[in-house]
Amino acid sequence: MSSFGGSVDSQVNGEIDDGVPNAIDPFALSLNENPYPPLPAVRAALIRSIDAANRYPEFQPERLRGLIAGHIGMPADQVVLGAGATGVVMEALQAFTAPGDCIAMASPTFDGHPIVAQMARLNVVTVPLDEYGHNNLDGLAEVAAHARVVVVCRPHNPTGTLEPSSEIVRFLSRVPRDTVVLLDEAYIEFVAPELRLDISALVARFPNLVVVRTFSKAYGLAGLRIGYGLASPALARTLWEHQPPYGMASTSLLAVAASYEAEDQLLQRIRLITAERRYLRMRLSAMRVYTCDAHANFMYLPSRGRSWREVFADTGLHVRLYDDGSARITVGGRESTMAVLSAVGQLR
């Protein structure tokens, strides 16, 4: 290769390398990512899988499906896979909707849901959250009667609130059986075990339910795009038919296997993040800043007459800011917490 070609290559490589985010960045608090880089065992597994990158992954990701099924204790034929939780939601919309159908969801909600609904050319019907950031499940059940799909996030994004299990069951009982319910549990690993739903029992009772989960949050693998869905055998069969060929990268299988093996260390990280969340909430509350009752790895500050956009401007912190003045802040380590508290402290 000529030296001219070489220098162009390295220039391009330099620009591309610049596009790789920093694994450790205490100021990156806008996407609810995990603040920790991959565990050493997960990193080693990823490197092993990359050594065979010239080979295709499985045509249909049966082994990954079996691995996840075994770990969560459900039959493999009730597990489906996707490129992140987003990929699973897209597969569900492709499988169960036609352009012009209605999809119901809360407002505000996870930014991705209205985006994929629009890609599927659905009409989005929204139901506002209450003033404490909770879903209006009665309102959602009412509009779900005229919708093809209804999405509920538990915990909710952006507020982090958690509807009680009994209210979810009541909601599911009210939704007609020909409306598909997407129950988005992207942050479930941050929820106290006693507050989690019995998913196996729920999908057995409600054949129109798809539970969506991801390795992007508690497992810290957002860049690998691994998500899964859990549903009744019939619904899962339809979803599996929408699984793209060779759709899950070969890195997925080894990364998930290594993560499951290192579960103790991951649980320790989850405990650190939830402890940090409690600390941040307590400190904000001491500063008389209201935050919603959060059960995930982020915190929501409703505007309540003030614009958080102005507060966080020029602080260097990347948080998710909403048009109504509210803000959602990912919980990181103590350095992130102190930066947030210092920004909020300037208010006084």
Of the candidate residues 57, 61, 84, 133, the single one contacting ligand PLP (CB under 6 A): 84
Query: Which H helix or E strand runs over 344?
Result: helix 334-345
- The Cα–Cα gap between 49 and 42 comes to 11
DSSP lists the bridge partners of residue 209 as: 181
Residues in 175-194 that interact with ligand PLP by CB under 6 A: 184, 186
Confirm if 295 and 155 have CB atoms less than 8 A apart.
yes
Q: Which of residues 20-49 bind ligand PLP (CB under 6 A)?
A: 32
- Looking at 14-22, 214-222, 262-270, 303-311, which segment touches ligand PLP (CB under 6 A)? 214-222
Q: How many residues bind ligand PLP (CB under 6 A)?
A: 14
Nearer to ligand PLP, 163 or 184 (CB): 184
Q: In what side-by-side order are the strands of the sheet with 102-107?
A: 79-82, 227-231, 209-214, 180-184, 149-153, 102-107, 123-128
Residues 281-310 within binding reach of ligand PLP (CB under 6 A): none
Q: Which is nearer to ligand PLP, 91 or 276 (CB)?
A: 91
Residue 160 lies near ligand PLP (rule: CB under 6 A): no
Cβ pair 95, 149 in contact under 8 A: no
Q: Per CB under 6 A, does 110 bind ligand PLP?
A: yes
Q: Are 309 and 321 in contact (CB under 8 A)?
A: yes
Q: Does 214 bind ligand PLP (CB under 6 A)?
A: yes
112 interacts with ligand PLP by CB under 6 A: yes
Interface residue with ligand PLP among 26, 35, 227, 229 (CB under 6 A) is 227
In the block, residue with structure tokens 């890195």:
251
Q: Which is nearer to ligand PLP, 128 or 264 (CB)?
A: 128
Least distance in angstroms from the C-beta of 12 to ligand PLP: 27
Rg (CA), the chain: 21
Choice between 25 and 204, CB closer to ligand PLP: 25
Residue 216 touches ligand PLP, criterion: CB under 6 A: yes
Q: What is the DSSP string of 284-334?
A: HHHTT-------SSEEEE--TTS-HHHHHTTS--EEEE-TTS-EEEE---H
Residue 179 DSSP symbol: S
Q: Least distance (Å) from ligand PLP to the CB of residue 30? A: 10
272 binds ligand PLP (CB under 6 A): no
Q: Please answer whether residues 332 and 339 qualify as being in contact, where contact means their C-beta atoms are separated by less than 8 angstroms.
A: no
153 binds ligand PLP (CB under 6 A): yes
Residues of this chain that interact with ligand PLP (CB under 6 A) are: 32, 84-86, 110, 112, 153, 157, 184, 186, 214, 216, 222, 227
